[in-house]
């Protein structure tokens, strides 16, 4: 048995570290957090006892019971235990929880940290152990307690007062507010247009592209200018060459890695961090949660050696970047490869792309600036006058020395390379184009740009950005758009060699939200609700100040409970006073007119699934109101009475099937559909107002065919053998039973099917009864451990 036990939080990390330590060391994993704040206590006291100095009751996570049993056994057998969890707040908290559960003294148990998993780093860490940093633990506890209090007290208010509201969080709510505010900026944006003029000239057989610096506000002005070129000649009047340089960016922090991976690779924040974590655990990169742009002296020397040997000494420029964020909690070192010369980081293509991005950025940060020469050619127009004091300009760029662009940042569109020209040279006009260009509204956030904005505002930390973005999408407050945009008319005026002006109207797409984060109706409603009634929860400065308070606790400059009381007392008062909030007012009902047939009001409002229309008053107990989905492209603020009246024409009777069943067309939560008895058939993208009987019958027949293929056997009493997405199974509509692989589904008898259903546990939302069994099986009793508050003097918590 090994004398030393090293505990990390990841199995992959354990496997890598074990390679570097000798046979005297056994490395085991806690597989992440082992305890969390309890949902309830045996004594009936709150899990977070606010009145008793925020004393917190923790419970062992049910799925960690086996892990803890193994760790306890290994701890008893070992002479020395080393805690090697990550070196941020969460890692420090895991180390402390391990001490509590395994009976270790946090004041004496050896704690080792490293920001890269290499032989050298591990050996150095073992030489210089420390103990658990209780100030970091307190900072993590403050964050966890605060988030639990906000979630547990505010979420029930959201359920009661906000239709479709699911939860509210301390950090997720300001993120939703950012997206809602941007969406409203886009909605309020008043479009405008101008005409941009470009031209193509020939010079000694080479093409020269140029642009008119000025733009025209009207089509008439643009046409007049093009007509003025009818007999014009064009001459080079000036050639200006300006030297320039371009410097590389700093190596990646967590935030900039997520931004760049989103921009260059299209990766979301969560996917990026998943790949980075795997690379870290395999010893390929340094720790991936960091605010620092600093590189160690060893890393800089390694980069210099590699750059000099591969590209030459002129490509090497040593730089040390400084971190702007002085209070960065993980300010250790930027993300970089552990071996600057290693080209391969992973056999997984997805992870390799992240590795390439990290490695190239780190190497580029130690390379020389790119040297450029920018050229501007001014082209005079012979017919220019007081009305059109205009000239064309051709711009080009030449890379004199690529520097860092040799490996990073050269993926942008290549600049135009201009042919050699001199003042006085004549140019021949090939074609000139005046094109209508529209002002662009503010851009919707992508995952990358949202991370950048959160970082600018001081909201969240490197370890939380990906979680924030994932949570707001999981709650359906935000969706990732997939729309290609809408077509619009664009006017173009063209003059070719004959100089005659021709007008054409072309189509182009605008307003695409593909890959962008778009707030849903519920997201907008909950953001407004919190802004109106719980402003501190969504206030950007307040949220950033809370993050700074966590940093102060970690530094020992602020007591944990002082910080918690400062936040909780005013927040709890708002919760206590929330009973009088009017739910109907939250739904933002707006009367848009009166139905001419019934005389009832038509309202536009938010419902559980987003914006909708309502015919009739909610207070009318005798005649319940009717509802219709919001017409496509319309909003609560913009929907017209005409659009609403058309929406209430649904459901529409399209006709009948051959056996006399009614076919109704309507719009539901998931889009337009037809209904025959209890069978629903999607008709996307056909409008339910316009679908013909022939179209409906064709779609209905196709649906019947697919249902027949799905239905292997129907025993007539509700029990069926079906072909599901994950294979054949038996169902009675309430319970599902998976069919054994060695049994043919078409040969199952009625009695066998009934027995399988009887033996299957009640199915929850799992895809098969097997999952239902896992969900409904009797859970082992969870061990609850109550700890008193941890004081700023770094004394260990006491167990009750």
What's the helix, strand, coil split of the chain in %, to 5?
Answer: 35, 25, 40
Q: Is-contact 430 201, C-beta < 8 A?
A: yes
Question: Quick one: three-class SS letters along 620-640?
Answer: CCCCCCEEEECCCCCCCCCCC
What is d(CA 793, CA 732) in angstroms, rounded to the nearest whole number? 62
Q: What are the backbone dihedrals phi and psi of residue 371, each rounded to the nearest 5 degrees, phi first? A: -105, 130
Half-sphere exposure of 681 (CA within 13 A, CB side): 25
Distances (CA, A) of 22 to 190, 192, 449: 69, 70, 45
Q: Which two tokens stand for residue 78?
A: 């070992």
Q: What are the backbone dihedrals phi and psi of residue 667, each rounded to the nearest 5 degrees, phi first? A: -120, 130
Q: Which two tokens stand for residue 51?
A: 């009145």
Half-sphere exposure of 204 (CA within 13 A, CB side): 6
Distances (CA, A) of 290 to 128, 255, 331, 380: 22, 8, 6, 54
What is d(CA 588, CA 638) in angstroms, rounded to the nearest whole number? 13
Q: What are the backbone dihedrals phi and psi of residue 121, each rounded to the nearest 5 degrees, phi first? A: -65, -40
- One DSSP character per residue, 172-190 reads HHHHHHHHHHHHHHHHH--
Q: For residue 769, which of 727, 736, 741 has the smallest C-alpha distance?
A: 736
Instruction: Name the residues annotated as catalytic.
Output: 287
Q: For residue 676, which of 643, 651, 640 has the smallest C-alpha distance?
A: 651
What is d(CA 320, CA 582) in angstroms, rounded to the nearest whole number? 57
Q: Is-contact 277 16, C-beta < 8 A?
A: no
What is d(CA 201, CA 426) in angstroms, rounded to the nearest whole number? 10
In the block, tokens 């707040």 appear at 89
Q: Is-contact 96 58, C-beta < 8 A?
A: no
Q: Is-contact 631 639, C-beta < 8 A?
A: yes
Interacting residues of 708 by C-beta distance below 8 A, sequence separation 6+: none
Q: Which two tokens stand for residue 585?
A: 């007012």
What is d(CA 369, CA 401) in angstroms, rounded to the nearest whole number? 8
How many CB atoms are located within 10 Å of the residue 78 CB? 19
| Segment (H or E) for 96 | helix 89-102
Q: For residue 258, which of 423, 413, 463, 420 has the smallest C-alpha distance?
A: 463
- One DSSP character per residue, 328-355 reads -TT-S--B-BSSTT-----SSHHHHHHH
Q: Is-contact 722 738, C-beta < 8 A?
A: no
Q: Is-contact 527 158, C-beta < 8 A?
A: no
Q: For residue 254, which of 294, 297, 287 has the smallest C-alpha distance?
A: 287
What is d(CA 471, CA 148) in angstroms, rounded to the nearest whole number? 15
């Amino acid at each position: 048995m090994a004398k030393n036990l090293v505990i990390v939080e990841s199995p992959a990390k354990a496997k890598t570290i074990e390679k570097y330590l000798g046979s005297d060391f056994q490395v085991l994993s806690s597989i992440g957090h082992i305890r969390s704040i309890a949902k309830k206590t045996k004594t009936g006291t709150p899990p977070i006892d606010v009145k008793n100095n925020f004393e917190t009751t923790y419970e062992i996570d049910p799925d960690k019971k086996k892990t803890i049993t193994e760790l306890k056994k290994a701890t008893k057998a070992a002479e020395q235990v080393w805690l090697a969890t990550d070196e941020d707040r969460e890692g420090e908290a895991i180390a402390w929880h391990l001490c509590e559960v395994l009976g270790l003294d946090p004041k004496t148990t050896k704690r080792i940290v490293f920001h890269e998993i290499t032989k050298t780093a591990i050996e150095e860490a073992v030489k210089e152990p420390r103990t658990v940093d209780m100030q970091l633990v307190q900072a993590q506890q403050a964050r966890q307690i605060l988030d639990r209090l906000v979630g547990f007290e505010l979420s029930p208010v959201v359920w009661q007062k906000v239709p479709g509201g699911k939860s509210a969080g301390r950090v997720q709510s300001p993120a939703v507010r950012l997206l809602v505010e941007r969406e409203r900026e886009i909605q309020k944006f008043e479009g405008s247009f101008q005409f941009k003029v470009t031209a193509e000239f020939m010079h000694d057989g080479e093409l020269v592209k140029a642009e008119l610096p000025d733009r025209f506000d009207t089509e008439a002005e643009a046409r007049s200018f093009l007509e003025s070129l009818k007999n014009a000649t064009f001459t080079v009047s000036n050639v200006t060459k300006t030297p320039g340089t371009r410097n590389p960016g700093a190596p990646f922090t967590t935030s900039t890695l997520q931004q760049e991976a989103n921009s260059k690779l299209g990766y979301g924040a969560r996917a990026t961090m998943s790949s980075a974590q795997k690379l870290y655990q395999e010893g390929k990169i340094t720790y991936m949660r960091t605010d620092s742009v600093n590189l160690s002296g060893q890393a800089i020397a390694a980069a210099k050696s590699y750059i000099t040997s591969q590209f030459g000494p002129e490509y090497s420029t040593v730089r040390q970047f400084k971190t702007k964020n002085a209070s960065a909690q993980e300010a250790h070192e930027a993300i970089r490869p552990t071996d600057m010369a290693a080209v391969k980081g992973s056999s997984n293509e997805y992870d390799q792309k992240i590795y390439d991005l990290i490695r190239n950025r780190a190497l580029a940060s130690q390379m020389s600036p790119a040297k450029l020469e920018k050229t501007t050619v001014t082209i005079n127009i012979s017919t220019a006058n007081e009305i059109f004091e205009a000239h064309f300009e051709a711009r080009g760029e030449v890379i004199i020395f690529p520097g860092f662009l040799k490996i990073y940042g050269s993926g942008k569109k290549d600049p135009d390379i201009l042919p050699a020209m001199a003042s006085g040279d004549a140019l021949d006009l090939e074609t000139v184009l005046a094109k209508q260009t529209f002002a662009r509204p503010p851009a919707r956030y992508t995952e990358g740009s949202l991370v950048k904005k959160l970082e600018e505002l001081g909201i969240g930390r490197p370890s939380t950005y990906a979680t924030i973005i994932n949570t707001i999408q999981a709650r359906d407050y935000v969706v990732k758009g997939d729309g290609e945009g809408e077509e619009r008319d664009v006017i173009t005026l063209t003059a070719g060699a004959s100089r005659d002006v021709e007008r054409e109207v072309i189509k182009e797409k605008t307003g695409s939200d593909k890959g962008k984060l778009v707030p849903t109706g519920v997201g907008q409603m909950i953001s407004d609700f919190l802004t109106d009634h719980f402003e501190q929860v969504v206030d950007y400065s307040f949220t950033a100040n809370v993050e700074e308070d966590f940093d102060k606790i970690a530094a020992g400059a602020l007591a944990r409970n002082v910080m918690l009381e400062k936040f909780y007392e005013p927040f709890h008062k708002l919760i206590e006073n929330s009973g009088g909030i009017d739910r109907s007012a939250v739904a933002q009902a707006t009367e848009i007119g009166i139905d001419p047939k019934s005389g009832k009001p038509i309202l536009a409002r938010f419902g559980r699934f987003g914006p909708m229309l309502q015919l009739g008053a909610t207070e009318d107990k005798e005649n319940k109101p009717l509802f219709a989905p919001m017409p496509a492209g319309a909003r609560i603020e913009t929907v017209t009475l005409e659009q609403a009246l058309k929406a209430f024409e649904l459901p529409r009777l399209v006709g009948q099937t051959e056996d006399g069943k009614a076919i109704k067309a309507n719009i539901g939560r998931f889009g337009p559909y037809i209904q025959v008895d209890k069978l629903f058939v999607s008709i996307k993208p056909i409008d339910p107002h316009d679908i013909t009987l022939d179209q409906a019958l064709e779609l209905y027949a196709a649906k019947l065919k697919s249902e027949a293929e799905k239905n292997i056997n129907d025993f007539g009493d509700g029990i069926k053998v079906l072909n599901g997405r994950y294979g054949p199974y038996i169902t009675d509509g309430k319970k599902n039973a998976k069919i054994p692989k060695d049994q043919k589904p078409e040969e199952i008898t009625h009695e066998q099917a009934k027995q399988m259903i009887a033996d299957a546990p009640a199915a929850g939302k799992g895809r098969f009864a097997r999952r239902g069994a896992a969900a409904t099986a009797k859970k082992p009793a969870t061990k609850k451990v109550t700890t008193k508050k941890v004081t700023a003097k770094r004394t260990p918590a006491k167990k009750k």
